[in-house]
Structure 1
Amino acid sequence: MDSKGDHGGDSFLEVSTALWMYSKTHPLVQDPLPSWALDHHQSFLELEASIGRTRTVSQIDLVPTLSLMLGLPIPFSNLGMIIPEFFFQTTPSNSDPPSLLSPTQSLLQSASLNSQQLWTFLNHHTSTSSHDLNQHLPHLTRLYQRALELSQLPGHEEQAFQAHRTFATSLLATSRKIWAKFEPNLMIIGILLMLLSLLVSSKLLSSISPTPTTQTPPVRALLLAGLSGGGLGLLIGGVSAWIKLFPEIVATSNLLIGTALGISLGILSFQPNHHPTFSIPSFTTLFKLFPVILHGLGLGSNSYTIWEDRVVLHLISISLFLPLVIRAFSVPKPALRNRLLFFASLFALCLRLISLSTVCREEQGGECRVTFYGSTTSSNAPNWVMSLSIPLAIGLPILPAWFLGISDSYRGPASFFFGVLWRLILLCGSQYWITDYILSHQDLHLSSQLIETAQSVKLLVARVAFFLCLFAASLLWIILPVCIDVKRVDSESESEPKEKGENKKPKLLVIGFANVYGSSYLMFLVACFGILFLVTQPVGQVVLSLGLVAILCLVELNDTLNDIDSLCESYQKAIETVAVTQKPKDEEESRIRKVPSTDLNILVGFYFLGYMLFFGTGHQATFASIQWKAGFVGLPQAHLLWSAVLVFLNSFAGFILVGLALPLLQIWNLSPIINLTDRNKKPDQDDNQQPLDQTQSPDLHPQVVRSLDTQLLETQLIFINLFGINLLLNMVFVLVLRRHLMVWKIFSPRFMLHSILLLLLDFLAVLVTVWPLQAVKIKVNQTFGTQFFA
């Protein structure tokens, strides 16, 4: 600790301490150590004048020293060297007849044992676990062989000891160079690339939609510029690797860095015609992003990171619940106000229940109580949750049915899919963990035959659940129609009198049309939820179920906010129409102009909900919280590939669920509308020849109408940028705190977690765009015809 009280840095006073050793039996030091036994350049330090020249030892040298002094073998992975002062003394030998070893011989014997342990570690490490020391192995082998040769020569004890010392010093220096070397230049480059990626995403956000003066969205030109810049960057990276411009950077890294910089700078430097480069965020936007920024800034504190699971609950309350409650009192329509308050309260209740599931980090000490497991020392579920497992599996399908019932879209195959198939999947997931719970309690005294039967049942239900989930999310989901009912009704209206001789023309009433996209996609989502439910332990299953309810609440809240905005916009248009005595716009034109949006507060809620589910399912940003038991779900024994996949699904189930549910914000209660461009186009006229009505407002141009893909891409970019902001701040703090005492225990695992999360969310964004969302659009087109679009 230095004079200011700092103790987590890398200054001399912060990493040094006094060493005092005492023995009650015999003196630890008998003879003064000769000068040839020490390296006077590395073993002494010049301190302040009052202290003078001082002998120093490394902390790792205590382990081999104490081991040999206590007659114990040196631990396998320790790379320390003996402290010679304690072994330069006369000792009895193990020879027959017994004799005494001189101090020099005793010192050489201890150094030989130390070198033998280091050589064993080096051979085992280079042959099995890693090959990072292989290029240094010939040089280290020569040093060890030289030490052995000198040890066999009489009268060369001093040279032999120095050779053993040289071998140990070289191995330690080489290992530190490979394993404990920070490259600030590479870390700064990584931070720069992350910052550029956020700027690129922000520019792409403002270039997704087409403009009235352009035939194509500016983002296409930006992507071409990025490809050109990436090619140039790849070339420059290859040249720099060839001439070894940066010797510390390997060739592959040179190519990747050059390509990434080229793409980023190419997009940022390109300016599309008549299009702004960046839009400055408003104060409201920055205020909504404040909890996310605060979350990222908190990662610079080890105490905040340790208690992150508690802090996130308060951040999501500040970022979402309070703004929704405040806004509810300004809604002019009571029905919308009550709806907003109801779903906000239900969402808050789900969050509070999720927060009750906790696992404890080692650093939290006695201030944390484990509720995810039966006890602190057990990996089994608590008894109370096992009694809820079957009722949860039976009752959970009622909730999606209730949410779909709000829009009257629980129609068609929904009752079979949710009420039968999905309930069966959930029951299989519950049965698996019930059987596992029974088998893990040895006090039940089960017979060997009953145990074997239970293991077979456990394996069978897991595989049945996997099959049903994959079948339901792929082939069956594609085959089943959309969730609608069609009824025939009379076309006669009281307000329109029927002319004489006119025949009645029946009309078809499509029930569930208003939410045809959302109801179909929800079927895919719950099928994926079934897999996550299966690989999650019982308390985590309850948490995931609450998370699904919270997600649907957020979806309904976003739809309610859109309704409120539409209502306010209608009021404003009515006032303007009366004021200027203009004719109201055509109803169909007004509808085609309407662009459903996602409120930024809702996306921030999704962001924090992912963390709530991560912590609630029994995880922390530590390796100790990994639930290896999940790697055996559906497998008789561990498998190299599938066990890793299962553990990954278990660890990131909350974020996967949130990432897959993100499209619901755009397609919930979004009904197809008629494509006026296709309807008014002549049969012999292609898309590029469609004339534009000059009397039409520019913002009604068909190319200005934002498609579902455009809206979803914008939502996904914003959502991913939230995690990108957090990762950028995390990277900065890891760079600044790279010498911190807790960097490998707190900051580094947190950085690795967030890096994986960003890659995972990128993958999910591509997945939902390519597969389920396009499949939903195809199903709707097959049902209603290609003249309908989203």
Structure 2
Amino acid sequence: MDSKGDHGGDSFLEVSTALWMYSTTHPLVQDPLPSWALDHHQSFLELEASIGRTRTVSQIDLVPTLSLMLGLPIPFSNLGMIIPEFFFQTTPSNSDPPSLLSPTQSLLQSASLNSQQLWTFLNHHTSTSSHDLNQHLPHLTRLYQRALELSQLPGHEEEAFQAHRTFATSLLATSRKIWAKFEPNLMIIGILLMLLSLLVSSKLLSCISPTPTTQTPPVCALLLAGLSGGGLGLLIGGVSAWIKLFPEIVATSNLLIGTALGISLGILSFQPNHHPTFTIPSFTTLFKLFPVILHGLGLGSNSYTIWEDRVVLHLISISLFLPLVIRAFSVPKPALRNRLLFFASLFALCLRLISLSTVCREEQGGECRVTFYGSTTSSNAPNWVMSLSIPLAIGLPILPAWFLGISDSYRGPASFFFGVLWRLILLCGSQYWITDYIISHQDLHLSSQLIETAQSVKLLVARVAFFLCLFAASLLWIILPVCIDVKRVDSESESEPKEKGENKKPKLLVIGFANVYGSSYLMFLVACFGILFLVTQPVGQVVLSLGLVAILCLVELNDTLNDIDSLRESYQKAIETVAVTQKPKDEKESRIRKVPSTDLNILVGFYFLGYMLFFGTGHQATFASIQWKAGFVGLPQAHLLWSAVLVFLNSFAGFILVGLALPLLKIWNLSPIINLTDRNKKPDQDDNQHQLDQTQSTDPHPQVVRSLDTQLLETQLIFINLFALNLLLNMVFVLVLRRHLMVWKIFSPRFMLHSILLLLLDFLAVLVTVWPLQAVKIKVNRMFGTQFFA
């Protein structure tokens, strides 16, 4: 600790302490140590004038010193050197007949044992682990062999000891240079690349839609500019690696950095024609993003990071619940107001129940109580949740049915898929953990034969659940029709009496048509939910179930907000119709329907809900919270690949569920539209032609009709940018606090978590666009014909 009380930095006074060793049996030091046994450049340090020249030792030198003094082997991974003062004394030898070793011989023998342990570590590391020490292995081998040769020569004890010390200090210096060295330049480059990628993503947001004067979205030109810049950056990176412009950066890093910088600068420097430049976000947008920014800024505090699971609940309340409640009182229609308040309250209730599931970090101490496990020292589920497991699996399918019933889209195969197949998957997931609970409780005194039978049942149930989930999310989901019912109704009604001689044909009533996309996609989502449900422990299963309800609440809230906006737009248009005379709309313009927009508050709610589910399923940003038990689900023993996949699904189940559910914000209560023009013409061509027709109109601000894929991509980019912003702030704080006492215990694991999250969400964004969303469109076209499109 220095004079100011600082103790977490890397200054000498902050990392140094006094060493005092005492023995109750015999003196630890018998003879004064000769000068040749010390390295006068490294063993002494010039301090302030009042202290003078002082003998110093490294902290890691205590381990081999104490080990040999106690007659124990030196730990394998220690790279310290013995403290010579304690071994320069006369000791008995192990030879026959016994004799005494001189102080110099005793010191050399101890140094030889120390070097032997270091040599074993070096050989093992270079042969089985990473190869970062391989380039230094020849030099270190020569130093060790020279020390062995001198040790065998009589009368060369001093030179031999100095050779052993040279080998030990060289290995330690080389290892420190490779492993324990911060590269601020590379860290700054990484932060710069992250900032540029965030700016590139923001620019893509404004360029993914066609402009009123062009048929091609500007994003195509941006991608070409990015490829050109990337090629130039790759060339520059290769040249800098060849001439070794930056010696501390390897060639591969030079190429990657050059390519990334080239792509980013190429996109940012290119300005499409007839397209606006960057605009400063409005105050409303910044206000909605304030909780996310606050979350990122809080990662610069170790106390905030430790208690992040508690803080996130308050942030999501500020970002979503309170604004929705305040907005509800300004809704003119009571039905919409009550609907908004109901789903907001149900969402808040789910969050509160999710927050009750906790696991504790070591730093939280006694102020945290574990509820995810049965006790602090147990890895088994609490007793109360086991009695809730089967009722949960039976009752959970009722909730999607209720949400689909709001739009009258619980039709067709929905009753079989949700009520039978999905319920069977959930029962398998519950049965697996019930069987595991019974086997792990030794108080039941089960026989070995019964335990073996239970293990077989557990393995079979897990594999059946995996098969059903994969089958339900792929082949069966494609084969099944969309969730609709078709009824034939008579066109004659009391209000419209039938005229003489007129034969009116009966009409077909399609029930569930209004939410045909959302109901079909929800079937895929719950099939994926079944896999996450299986690999999650019982309390986590309850949390994931509440998370699914919370997601559907957010989807309904977003739909309600769209209804409110539509109501206000209709009021505004009614006023304009009365005030001015407008020309009637043509047929094509009247058929344009608006893809549901997504309020930024809803996306922020999805953002924080992912963290709530992460913490609620028994995880923290620590390695100790990894649930390795999940790696054995459906496996008789650990597998190198599948166990890692299962543990990954268990750890990030909440974020995976949120990422897969994101498209529901765009396709919920979205019905297909029909192309009444030319059926051989693609819908995209018809849309583009309509956009050109709009540019020729007298409207000075023509609107562009954006496709479902375009708006979904926009939503995904905004959602990913929230995590990218958080990761950027996290990287800045890791750079600033790289010498902090808790950098490896708190800040570094948090950075690793967020890096994996960003890659995971990027992958999920591509996945849902390529597979389930396109499959839903295929199912709709197969049912209604190709003239219907999203």
Q: TM-score range by the shorter chain?
A: over 0.9
Change (3 A) 1:686 1:278: closer
Change (3 A) 1:268 1:575: same
Deviations 1:177-197 (A, max 9, x none): 111111111111111110000
Change (3 A) 1:507 1:551: same
- Does the Cα contact within 8 Å between 2:339 and 2:560 map onto a contact in 1? yes
**Deviation for aligned residue 1:465:** 0.4
Change (3 A) 1:192 1:668: same
- Does the Cα contact within 8 Å between 2:410 and 2:512 map onto a contact in 1? yes
2:681 and 2:44 map into 1 onto residues whose CA distance is 89
- Does the Cα contact within 8 Å between 2:184 and 2:735 map onto a contact in 1? yes
**Deviation for aligned residue 1:23:** 2.0
**Matching residue of 1:332:** 332
2:555 and 2:657 map into 1 onto residues whose CA distance is 14
Q: Could you tell which deviates more after superposition, 90-99 or 10-19?
A: 90-99
**Matching residue of 1:571:** 571
**Matching residue of 1:619:** 619
- Does the Cα contact within 8 Å between 1:577 and 1:584 map onto a contact in 2? no
- Does the Cα contact within 8 Å between 2:694 and 2:702 map onto a contact in 1? no
1:593 and 1:535 map into 2 onto residues whose CA distance is 41
**Deviation for aligned residue 1:98:** 2.7
Secondary structure, aligned partner of 2:435? helix
1:642 and 1:682 map into 2 onto residues whose CA distance is 43
- Does the Cα contact within 8 Å between 2:558 and 2:665 map onto a contact in 1? yes
1:300 and 1:545 map into 2 onto residues whose CA distance is 33
- Does the Cα contact within 8 Å between 1:45 and 1:56 map onto a contact in 2? yes
Deviations 1:494-544 (A, max 9, x none): 565544311021111110011000000000000000000001111111110
Deviations 1:261-303 (A, max 9, x none): 1111110000001111212210010011111111111111111
TM-score (norm: length of structure 2): 0.97
1:690 and 1:115 map into 2 onto residues whose CA distance is 80
- Does the Cα contact within 8 Å between 2:234 and 2:259 map onto a contact in 1? yes
**Deviation for aligned residue 1:21:** 1.8
**Deviation for aligned residue 1:122:** 1.1
**Deviation for aligned residue 1:696:** 7.0
Change (3 A) 1:690 1:651: closer
Secondary structure, aligned partner of 1:760? helix
**Deviation for aligned residue 1:708:** 0.6
Number of equivalent positions: 790
**Deviation for aligned residue 1:95:** 2.4
Change (3 A) 1:338 1:683: closer
**Deviation for aligned residue 1:679:** 6.2
- Does the Cα contact within 8 Å between 1:226 and 1:263 map onto a contact in 2? yes
Q: Could you tell which deviates more after superposition, 132-141 or 768-777?
A: 132-141
- Does the Cα contact within 8 Å between 1:412 and 1:484 map onto a contact in 2? yes
Q: Could you tell which deviates more after superposition, 485-494 or 29-38?
A: 485-494
- Does the Cα contact within 8 Å between 2:212 and 2:692 map onto a contact in 1? no
Change (3 A) 1:187 1:691: closer
**Matching residue of 1:675:** 675
- 1:40 matched to 2:40: yes
Secondary structure, aligned partner of 1:592? coil
**Deviation for aligned residue 1:33:** 1.6
**Deviation for aligned residue 1:568:** 1.3
Deviations 1:304-325 (A, max 9, x none): 1111111111111111111111
Deviations 1:86-106 (A, max 9, x none): 212222222233322222112
Deviations 1:681-701 (A, max 9, x none): 799999988895579747899
Change (3 A) 1:596 1:586: farther
CA RMSD of aligned residues (A): 2.2
Change (3 A) 1:99 1:326: same
Q: Could you tell which deviates more after superposition, 394-403 or 440-449?
A: 440-449
1:525 and 1:359 map into 2 onto residues whose CA distance is 27
**Matching residue of 1:307:** 307
**Matching residue of 2:378:** 378
**Deviation for aligned residue 1:378:** 1.1
Secondary structure, aligned partner of 1:648? helix
- Does the Cα contact within 8 Å between 2:596 and 2:665 map onto a contact in 1? no
Q: Could you tell which deviates more after superposition, 193-202 or 213-222?
A: 213-222
Change (3 A) 1:342 1:532: same
Q: Could you tell which deviates more after superposition, 97-106 or 737-746?
A: 97-106
Change (3 A) 1:691 1:515: closer
Change (3 A) 1:691 1:609: closer
Change (3 A) 1:590 1:180: farther
- Does the Cα contact within 8 Å between 1:210 and 1:218 map onto a contact in 2? yes
Q: Could you tell which deviates more after superposition, 101-110 or 766-775?
A: 101-110
- Does the Cα contact within 8 Å between 1:212 and 1:699 map onto a contact in 2? no
Q: Could you tell which deviates more after superposition, 25-34 or 9-18?
A: 25-34
1:504 and 1:673 map into 2 onto residues whose CA distance is 25
**Deviation for aligned residue 1:27:** 2.1
- Does the Cα contact within 8 Å between 1:692 and 1:701 map onto a contact in 2? no
Q: Could you tell which deviates more after superposition, 509-518 or 691-700?
A: 691-700
2:476 and 2:682 map into 1 onto residues whose CA distance is 38
**Deviation for aligned residue 1:591:** 6.0
- Does the Cα contact within 8 Å between 1:215 and 1:703 map onto a contact in 2? no
1:685 and 1:574 map into 2 onto residues whose CA distance is 32
Q: Could you tell which deviates more after superposition, 410-419 or 561-570?
A: 561-570
- Does the Cα contact within 8 Å between 1:206 and 1:279 map onto a contact in 2? no
- Does the Cα contact within 8 Å between 2:347 and 2:550 map onto a contact in 1? yes
Q: Could you tell which deviates more after superposition, 248-257 or 326-335?
A: 248-257
- Does the Cα contact within 8 Å between 1:593 and 1:700 map onto a contact in 2? no
1:684 and 1:218 map into 2 onto residues whose CA distance is 16
**Deviation for aligned residue 1:593:** 5.4
**Deviation for aligned residue 1:256:** 1.2
Unaligned runs of 5+ in 2: none
Change (3 A) 1:158 1:345: same
Q: Could you tell which deviates more after superposition, 453-462 or 8-17?
A: 8-17
Deviations 1:548-577 (A, max 9, x none): 000000100111111111111111222222
**Deviation for aligned residue 1:581:** 4.2
**Deviation for aligned residue 1:582:** 3.7
1:787 and 1:390 map into 2 onto residues whose CA distance is 45
Change (3 A) 1:685 1:273: closer
Deviations 1:576-599 (A, max 9, x none): 222224467579736625342101
**Deviation for aligned residue 1:741:** 1.3
- Does the Cα contact within 8 Å between 2:316 and 2:608 map onto a contact in 1? yes
Change (3 A) 1:473 1:681: closer
- Does the Cα contact within 8 Å between 2:413 and 2:481 map onto a contact in 1? yes
- Does the Cα contact within 8 Å between 2:213 and 2:692 map onto a contact in 1? no
Deviations 1:230-262 (A, max 9, x none): 111111112222222222212211111111111
1:114 and 1:625 map into 2 onto residues whose CA distance is 36
Percent of pairs with identical residues = 98
Q: Could you tell which deviates more after superposition, 574-583 or 629-638?
A: 574-583
Q: 5 Å matches for 1:377-776?
A: 377-492=377-492, 498-582=498-582, 589=589, 592=592, 594-675=594-675, 678=678, 693=693, 697=697, 704-776=704-776
Change (3 A) 1:683 1:569: closer
Deviations 1:366-402 (A, max 9, x none): 1111111111111111111110110000000000000
2:761 and 2:700 map into 1 onto residues whose CA distance is 34
1:216 and 1:79 map into 2 onto residues whose CA distance is 62
1:460 and 1:428 map into 2 onto residues whose CA distance is 9
TM-score (norm: length of structure 1): 0.97
Secondary structure, aligned partner of 2:684? coil
- Does the Cα contact within 8 Å between 1:210 and 1:703 map onto a contact in 2? no
- Does the Cα contact within 8 Å between 2:144 and 2:164 map onto a contact in 1? yes
Q: Could you tell which deviates more after superposition, 486-495 or 713-722?
A: 486-495
Change (3 A) 1:202 1:695: closer
**Deviation for aligned residue 1:784:** 1.4
2:248 and 2:218 map into 1 onto residues whose CA distance is 39
- Does the Cα contact within 8 Å between 2:694 and 2:703 map onto a contact in 1? no
1:401 and 1:684 map into 2 onto residues whose CA distance is 34
Secondary structure, aligned partner of 2:591? helix
2:459 and 2:331 map into 1 onto residues whose CA distance is 54
1:731 and 1:694 map into 2 onto residues whose CA distance is 46
**Deviation for aligned residue 1:718:** 0.3
Q: Could you tell which deviates more after superposition, 706-715 or 571-580?
A: 571-580
Change (3 A) 1:685 1:439: closer
